[in-house]
């Protein structure tokens, strides 16, 4: 069956029926963007058989199998009224529910004398497994010592500021944020569209601080995808199909109060000096990672998913997986059992011209590309912070990587289909 003739997905049908008769009539008369509401345009819409429900005990987009594209955005809150923040979270939740079903962020009125309620750039596209994951930054709880919303006492103990790590070169304008939303979808336009609509709904209450697009291409056979260094990345993640592991390492438990069933996310924009990496010998690249480039197996072993033998030594008595190999220094064995759920995306933001004014007067082009590292965890203190202290101090990969931006957000639990995102935080206030 061709996509064109496929039955209309129930969610898309709701979208079609969701617009009011007046809106459809207006659209037919009005032309322009209104034409997008016309039955003919709607009938041509490919059916989105790929929806991920927005509501659930946990937010979508954390355990969801990784979509191909991501658009991560951080916002600054511009208001000092708690009611404005709550109203925004309600608007965002309602819009996210609609977007996740393949609908426009708001119903379209088709009025020619007003800005369209939705930019319209995803109309006709598949929902592409869109997920929207929201987070709260430290600034929601207090900023510059000011408790703007009466929430300071509700900041969870585990929600700490990240310390400065060895080698950090963080750009403040690209770091931090009071609120975050990550849109993931198999179509980059669907992800970007969703964030644009949410940003528009925030007007007057919150403004975009920074944004980072990313991509993650995985082979069609379901095997592990590769990062820009050419290595399989994600092999030794705790399995999202193992509820006990997720409970232990990803989801906040009773200790978290209103954050129960939520998770903390740490994001780091890590530039990779690809121009140097690409000239490094294959043997050295493998020592840096601690795994083989072709199949991702740990050095000295055969299969990608074999447990790393960190005690193995070669004929000269040297460790087969070097002391400063990335896989070793990031491993639970070297970090008191710490584990995090990595859900990173590569980024490729073009290339910059660089010139040095000292001999030998090097000039050239540097890619602004690397890994937008994203990790979810139950407690950042025993998760990212624990591991990154070791990585920042000992990892051979640091010769090629520079952390240039950073942020931490508390991602509240999911919603039940009626409430709004983060509602438990505001309960009783
Ligand atoms: C502090 C956390 C980590 C940072 C920062 C980080 C950066 C980073 N990693 C790669 C590529 C790979 N990472 C791999 C494994 C791995 N990385 C971390 C943590 C951080 N990585 C962990 C916890 C692990 C798993 C360790 C283990 O238990 O074995 C791998 C190997 C394959 C895999 O297991 O995914 C690769 C490859 C890059 C390129 C990068 C920064 C640019
Ligand atoms: Fe890593």
Q: How far apart are CA 309 and CA 290, in angstroms?
A: 11
pTM: 0.90
- State residue 115 phi and psi, 5-degree precision: -65, 140
At residue 48 the predicted structure's pLDDT band, cuts being 50, 70 and 90, is low
Q: How far apart are CA 160 and CA 182, in angstroms?
A: 21
Please give the number of the atom of ligand 1 that sits closest to the Cα of 387.
1
Task: Report which DSSP code applies to 241.
Answer: T
- Asked if pLDDT for residue 36 goes beyond 80, the answer is no
- Asked if pLDDT for residue 7 goes beyond 70, the answer is no
- Asked if pLDDT for residue 174 goes beyond 50, the answer is yes
**Nearest C-alpha neighbor of 75 from the set 196, 213, 252, 185:** 196
Average pLDDT estimate for 197-217? 97
Judge if ipTM > 0.85: yes
The protein residue with its alpha carbon nearest to ligand 1, atom 6, reads: 373
Q: Cα(411) to centroid of ligand 2, in Å? A: 22
Q: CA-CA distances (angstroms) from residue 335 to 147, 163, 388? A: 35, 17, 9
Indicate the top mutation candidate among 212, 233, 292, 310 to test ligand 1's pocket, ranked by most ligand atoms within 8 A of CB: 233
Work out the mean pLDDT of the chain and round it to a whole number: 90
At residue 28 the predicted structure's pLDDT band, cuts being 50, 70 and 90, is very low
Q: How far apart are CA 282 and CA 278, in angstroms?
A: 9
Answer for the pair 78, 207: CB distance below 8 angstroms, yes or no: yes
Answer for the pair 171, 125: CB distance below 8 angstroms, yes or no: no
Binding positions for protoporphyrin IX are 291
The protein residue with its alpha carbon nearest to ligand 1, atom 13, reads: 233
Residue-wise pLDDT tens digits, 120-163: 999 999 999 999 999 999 999 999 999 999 999 999 999 999 99
- Asked if pLDDT for residue 49 goes beyond 70, the answer is no
Show the tokens assigned to 3: 């996509």
**Nearest C-alpha neighbor of 170 from the set 285, 277, 266, 276:** 266
Q: How far apart are CA 22 and CA 240, in angstroms?
A: 46
Show the tokens assigned to 176: 């931090």
3-class DSSP state of 353: strand
């Amino acid at each position: 069956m061709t996509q064109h003739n496929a039955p209309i997905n129930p969610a898309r049908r709701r979208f079609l029926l969701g617009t009011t008769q007046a809106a459809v009539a207006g659209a037919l008369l009005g032309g322009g963007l209104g034409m997008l509401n016309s039955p003919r345009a709607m009938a041509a819409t490919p059916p989105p058989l790929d929806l991920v429900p927005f509501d659930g005990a946990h937010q979508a987009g954390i355990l969801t199998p990784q979509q191909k594209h991501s658009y991560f955005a951080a916002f600054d809150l511009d208001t000092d009224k708690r009611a404005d923040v709550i109203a925004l979270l309600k608007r965002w939740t309602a819009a996210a529910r609609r977007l996740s079903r393949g609908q426009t962020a708001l119903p379209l009125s088709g009025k020619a004398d007003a800005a369209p309620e939705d930019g319209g750039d995803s109309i006709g596209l598949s929902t592409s497994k869109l997920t929207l994951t929201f987070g709260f930054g430290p600034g929601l709880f207090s900023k510059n010592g000011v408790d703007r919303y009466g929430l300071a006492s509700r900041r969870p103990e585990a929600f700490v500021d990240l310390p400065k790590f060895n080698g950090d070169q963080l750009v403040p304008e690209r770091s931090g944020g009071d609120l975050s939303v990550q849109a993931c979808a198999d179509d980059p336009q669907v992800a970007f569209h969703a964030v644009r609509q949410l940003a528009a709904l925030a007007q007057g209450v919150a403004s975009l601080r920074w944004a980072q697009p990313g991509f993650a291409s995985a082979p069609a056979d379901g095997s592990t995808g590769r990062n820009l260094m050419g290595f399989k990345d994600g092999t030794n993640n705790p399995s999202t199909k193992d509820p006990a592991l997720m409970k232990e390492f990803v989801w906040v438990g009773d200790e978290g109060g209103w954050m129960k069933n939520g998770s903390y996310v740490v994001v780091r924009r890590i530039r990779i000096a690809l121009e140097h990496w690409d000239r490094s010998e294959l043997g050295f690249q493998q020592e840096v990672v601690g795994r083989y480039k072709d199949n991702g197996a740990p050095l000295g072993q055969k299969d990608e998913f074999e447990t790393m033998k960190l005690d193995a030594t070669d004929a000269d008595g040297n460790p087969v997986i070097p002391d400063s190999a990335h896989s070793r220094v990031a491993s639970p064995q070297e970090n008191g059992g710490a584990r995090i759920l990595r859900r990173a995306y590569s980024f490729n933001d073009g290339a910059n011209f660089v010139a040095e004014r000292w001999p030998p007067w090097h000039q050239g082009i540097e890619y602004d590309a690397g890994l937008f590292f994203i990790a979810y965890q139950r407690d950042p203190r025993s998760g990212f912070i624990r591991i990154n202290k070791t990585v920042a101090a000992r990892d051979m990969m640091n010769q090629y990587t520079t952390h240039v931006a950073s942020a931490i957000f508390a991602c509240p639990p999911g919603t039940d289909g009626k409430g709004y995102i983060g509602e438990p935080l505001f309960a009783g206030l």
